[in-house]
Structure 1
Amino acid sequence: MRRNSAGAAGLLLLVALTSAATVTAQTISGDPQLRSASVLVLDEQGRQVYAKNSRAVKPIASITKLMTAMVVLDSGAPLDARITIAEADRDRLRNSRSRLRIGEATLTRRELLMVTLMSSDNRAAAALARTHPGGTDRFVEAMNRKAQALGMADTRFADSSGLDNRNRSHAEDLVTLIRAAARYPLIREATARGELTVYPYADGTPLEYRNTNSLVRNPTWTVELSKTGFINEAGHCLVMRTEIAGRRLDVVFLDAVGKLTPIGDSNRLKSWLSGTEVVAGR
C-alpha cells in the first residue's frame, strides 16, 4: 500500500515537473515584446538567444566610446598624464553640454577614460582623441583600423564621441565590440561602476558623475560591461554584458524610441528568459 502511495506521489511529481517545464519552454519560446528596432542577444558560446534586424546598419551614438577607450589603451599613452580640456574639445556639431570647463578642467587620462565611459562626457572623449599621437584625425583612423582588425566589416567611425551620425554599425558587429572591450579590465571597471567623483579644478571643487545605465545600480542585475548612447539619428541605444537566469549574455539594443525603452527591453528580456510574466513598461 505504501508502494502504491509512493508511486502515485512520484507520478504526480513527474507530471508537475513536466508541466512546469512545458510552461517555461512556452514562455521562453514566445515573444519577449522588445521595442528596440534592432536587437541581438548571444550567449557566451556565441549561440543566438534572440535577434531582430541584427544586420541593419545604423548610427550608434555613444556606443562609439567603447572603441575610443580601446584605442586609447592600445596606444600605451600614460594613464596618469594630466590633460586640460581645450577649446578644440568643444562640441560644435550638436552643442552638447559638459561640466568640464574649457581651459580649467584638468584630469588624468585614466579619469577622462572613466568619465567618457561611465557618464558619456563628450568633451572628455574629444580630449582623449586630441591628445593621441598625431591628433584627432590619426585617432579616428586608428578606430577604423581596430574595427577592421576585429572583423567589424560594416562599422565605420568618424569621431571619438559618437556625436557624428556617420559612426555606424549593426548589432552583430557590436557584439564583437562588446567582446573585444570586455578584455580590458579598465573598460569593465568603468562601465560597470555606478558613481564616480573627480576633482578637475584647482580649488578642489568635486564633480560627481553617475553611470548612464541605471541597471548597474540595480541590485537585481549583474552587469559586467555596458554603454548607452543617444543622438536623434540613432535613437536610444544600450549594449552590455550581463547575466540573466544563470547565463552570461551579450546584449545589443539599437534605435529605441524613448529614453527608458532600452531599460524596459532589458527587463522584458530578463522576464522572458527567467520564464516569468513579461513586465509592462516603455
Structure 2
Amino acid sequence: MKIWRIGLINNIWGVLTALLFLIICGEAIILTRQLSLYLSLDKIARIEQAAPILAKPRLSYRRIADDAVVFSQHDEVDRTKEKMIREKENFIFADLERMKLSVFQEGILMKEVSVQGKGKEGTFFETPNGLYKVRSKEENHFSTIGHVWMPWSIHFYGNYFIHGWPSYRDGTPVAETFSGGCIRISSRDAKEVFRFARRGMPVLIQSGSILSENAHATSTYFQRVDRTRMQERSPLLSGGAALAVDFDTGEILFAKNKTTPYPIASITKLMTGLVAIETINRFRHLTVSGKDSTFPDAPTSLEGETFQSQDFLYPLLLGSRNDVAELYRRTAGGFVETMNQKARGIGMTNTYFADASGASVENVADAEDLFRLLQYIARYKQPVFAVSGVSKKTIRSLSSKKSYIWENTTWPFDDGIFLGGHAGLTSTGKETIAGVLRVRFGEQDERKIAIIVLDSFDRIDDVRALIAYLEEEFVYGTVFTQKGIFPTEIRTGASLFHALPKWR
C-alpha cells in the first residue's frame, strides 16, 4: 500500500511538471510572437517614415443637385465627350470657349451653331464645365428673372437654359447688349435644337469657368432692387399680421407684426391633432356623442358614429369639425392643458389655448409661434401634417358603415401648391391661416414657404398677394462662388439683385 501511494504521488508530480513546462513554453511562444510583431511594426514604421509622402489624388468632378456633375478639369470634359461619341449617344455639347453649340446623334456630329451669349461669372446663369441633362422644354418661356420671353427654351439645370433670342412682353427683341445670361443662340437654330432635344438627354458644357478646390455652388435668395423706388415694395394685405418664411431654411422673406398675438380660431386644430395623436391610441375606437355635437356649425351630424382615433383627423383638419375637437378633449384627461404644455415645449411663447376647437377668442398666438408649430408637426408628426394637406378623403364609419367625404376647407383649390396647414374664422368675422405652399422662385426653382396670415378680411386674397409679391421680388438662385467670395449683388438684364441675409 505504501509503495502504491509513493507511485501515485510520483505520477501526479510528473503530470504537474509536464503541465508547468507546457505553460512556460506557451508563454515563451506568445512573448516571442509579440516581440516579433513589435519588431515588424517598428520596421514598417521606419520604412513609412523613410518613404516619400504621396499627395492625395484630387477629384476631377463634384456632384451637385439634380444629379448634375461639375468638372474641375478641362480634360474631364474631353474624356466624357469621347466616351459619349464612342458609345453612340445622343447629346448636346456647348463649347463656350469657342462659342459653338453642337448636336450629336448616335455619336455623330449632326449640326454646329454659333453661341451668341452665355452666362456671366458670378450670376445666376454662370455655367461651369459639367454634365447636365435636359429637364424640361418650353416653346416660349417667360423669365421671371430677366422679365423677357425666351423662345425654344431648353432647361438643363437651376436657372440655366439654352434658348433663342429673347424679347420683351410687347414682342420687342432685346438689344445685342442685353446681358440676360444663359446659353443664347439664334431663334432659328434654337428651334432645331429644341426639336432634337429630349427630356433626360445629356447636356455637356465646356466652359472657361473652372471651379477651384474651395469653390462651391451656393443656393440662396436674392431680392430684386429698383433704385427708382423711394422705398421697398410691400404686398397690399388686409391682415393685421403676416409672415412668409422658407420652410426648410427659416429665412424670413416678409414679416408684418410677426410677434403680435391675435385670435387664431380653428388654426387651434393643428395643435389638437398633434396632441390627440400623442395622447390617444390611434387605433382606439371613438364614438361621437350628443355632448360633442353641441356646436351649431356642423352641416352633417356625426352623433353615434364610430371611427378609429386616427381617422377622426380627417374631419378635424379637412372639415374643421368642432365636434371632433371636443371628442378628443373629452377622451384624454387634461387635454387643453396638455396643448398649452406642448406649445411651451415647442417654444411658442406667445400662445395660449382655452379650448380644443378654437371657438374661444382667448385662443391666441403670433405668426412666429405658428411657424414653429408648422415646422414641428412636419418634422416630428408628419402624418398629421400630411392629413392637413389632403384635398379630399373618404372614410367609412365602423358603426353605421356609412361613407363620409371630407374636402379640404383650408385651401379649396386643386392647384397643387398647398402642402398642409389649417385656417380659421374668428367670432368677429376675421380669417386666419397657417399653411405651407409651393412658391416658384427663379426660372424653375420651387420652394416650400410657410405663410401665416392673422386678423384678415380675406385670407385667400392675402395669401395670393403674398405669393405674387414673393415671385416678383425674389429669386432663389444657384451661384458658383470662387475662393469663398460670395457675390452680394448680381445684375442680369435690366434687373439688379441683392443677396438676402440668412436672418433678419
- Aligned 1:264-279 pairs, distance under 5 A: 264-275=461-472
1:94-147 deviation line (CA, Å, top 9, x unaligned) = x32252332x21111011112101111111111111111x2xxx0011000001
Pair 23,63 (structure 1): closer, same or farther in 2 beyond 3 Å: closer
Q: Which residue of 2 aligns with 1:208?
A: 405
Q: Do the aligned residues in 2 keep the contact of 1:192 with 1:216 (CA within 8 Å)?
A: no
CA distance in 1, matches of 2:289, 2:115: 79
Offset of residue 167 of structure 1:
0.7
CA RMSD of aligned residues (A): 2.8
When normalised by structure 1's length, the TM-score is 0.81
**In 1, distance between residues paired with 2:329 and 2:431?**
24
Give the percent of matched residue pairs that are identical in Structure 1 and Structure 2.
Answer: 25
Provide the residue aligned with 2:355 in structure 1. Answer: 159
3-state secondary structure, aligned to 2:291: helix
- Deviation per residue, 1:170-199 (Å, 9 max, x gap): 111111111111121211221110111222
Inter-partner Cα distance in structure 2 for 1:111 and 1:13: 61
State the partner residue of 1:141. Answer: 337
Q: Measured at CA, do residues 16 and 275 of structure 1 come closer, stay the same or move farther in structure 2, by a change above 3 Å?
A: farther
Residues 1-282 of structure 1: pairs in structure 2 closer than 5 A = 12=175, 15-17=178-180, 24-26=224-226, 29-43=232-246, 44-75=248-279, 77-91=280-294, 95-102=296-303, 104-132=304-332, 134=333, 138-183=334-379, 184-200=381-397, 202-214=399-411, 217-219=414-416, 221=417, 223-233=418-428, 235-245=430-440, 246-257=446-457, 261-275=458-472
Q: Larger deviation: 199-208 or 185-194?
A: 199-208
Greater mean deviation of Cα atoms: 77-86 or 60-69: 77-86
Which structure has more relative contact order (CA 8 Å, sep 6+)? It is: 1
1:162 CA displacement: 0.5
Alpha-carbon distance, 1:157 to partner: 0.5
SS at match of 1:238: strand
Secondary structure in structure 2 of the residue aligned to 1:207: strand
- Structure with bigger gyration radius: 2
Shift of residue 8, structure 1, vs aligned partner: 9.2
- How far apart in 2 are the matches of 1:174 and 1:233? 20
**Contact 1:116-1:125 within 8 A present in 2 as well:** yes
CA distance in 2, matches of 1:8, 1:243: 34
Residue ranges of structure 1 left out of the alignment (5+ in a row): 277-282
| Rounded Cα–Cα distance in structure 2 between residues aligned with 1:205 and 1:113 | 17
Q: Which amino acid aligns with 2:312?
A: L
Higher helix share: 1
In the alignment, residue 68 of structure 1 is paired with which amino acid? Answer: T
CA drift at 1:52: 1.1
**Structure with greater strand percent:** 2
CA offset at residue 262 of structure 1? 1.5
Question: Which 5+ residue runs of structure 2 have no aligned equivalent?
Answer: 1-98, 100-113, 119-173, 182-221, 441-445, 474-504
Preserved CA contact (<8 Å) 1:125 1:161: yes
Q: CA separation of 1:16/1:30 partners in 2, compared to 1, >3 Å: closer, same or farther? A: farther
Whether the 8 Å CA contact 1:165–1:234 is kept in 2: the answer is no
- Structure 1's 17 and 154: CA in aligned 2 closer, same or farther, altered over 3 A? same
